[in-house]
Amino acid sequence: MIERFGRRFYSVRPNLLGSKLTVTDRHGVEILFIPIKNLGHVSEINLFPDKKSKDSLLTVRPVYRERGKGWLAKVKHFISGPSHHDVIDPRTGNKVGALRLDYDTRIPKDQKWIFMDAEDRDFGHLEPIPSTTWGAKFNHSGYVGERPVCQVKSRNIITGRSIDMDLSLDANRELDARLAVAVSVKMAVDMVNLASD
């Protein structure tokens, strides 16, 4: 786990069919594998060390909060899915932390995510950087308190669009890399789902 989640750069890339994601390091070495075939907005996401493994290293699990009353609230909840996700180490069952969408959107370039600890206390966030670039490309900046700790950028690759997470700003390692990888993967899943809708 230390080798995979101790890095300062991660790139999340879909395959051509949108059926899987791979997470690579700065040199293109594959370090995580995520099957996402038929994975909707409301599904649990499991990160494996490779495509042959059946034991996941990290789980991003949706949490269903109070959804309001009436049929409109139920429909909205079903379409958009949960905004809160626990990040779990499945080998111990311990909660690493959690992610919460600050406002409900499934469009990754507009998403603002809140970083939470294992007790669901907010300690940081990832917010979009306004851009004059037309299209779906996006940049985000991540903070712990007011201190910048990461940068997220999307870029075009042959198989579609990758999401790069750069943690080099986080000299004191205040942001657990497992949360950083989890939010990158969740954004990538939303990106694939958006393209297939």
Strands, sheet with 147-157, edge to edge from the N-terminal-most edge strand: 30-35, 20-24, 9-14, 160-166, 147-157, 139-144, 122-128, 113-116, 94-101, 84-89, 58-63, 45-47
Q: Which residues contact 81 (CB under 8 A, 6 or more apart)?
A: 40, 41, 42, 62, 106
pTM of the predicted model, to two decimals? 0.87
pLDDT for res 107: 83
pLDDT tens by residue, 171-184: 999 999 999 999 99
pLDDT for res 141: 97
- The stretches in the chain having pLDDT less than 50 are 1-2
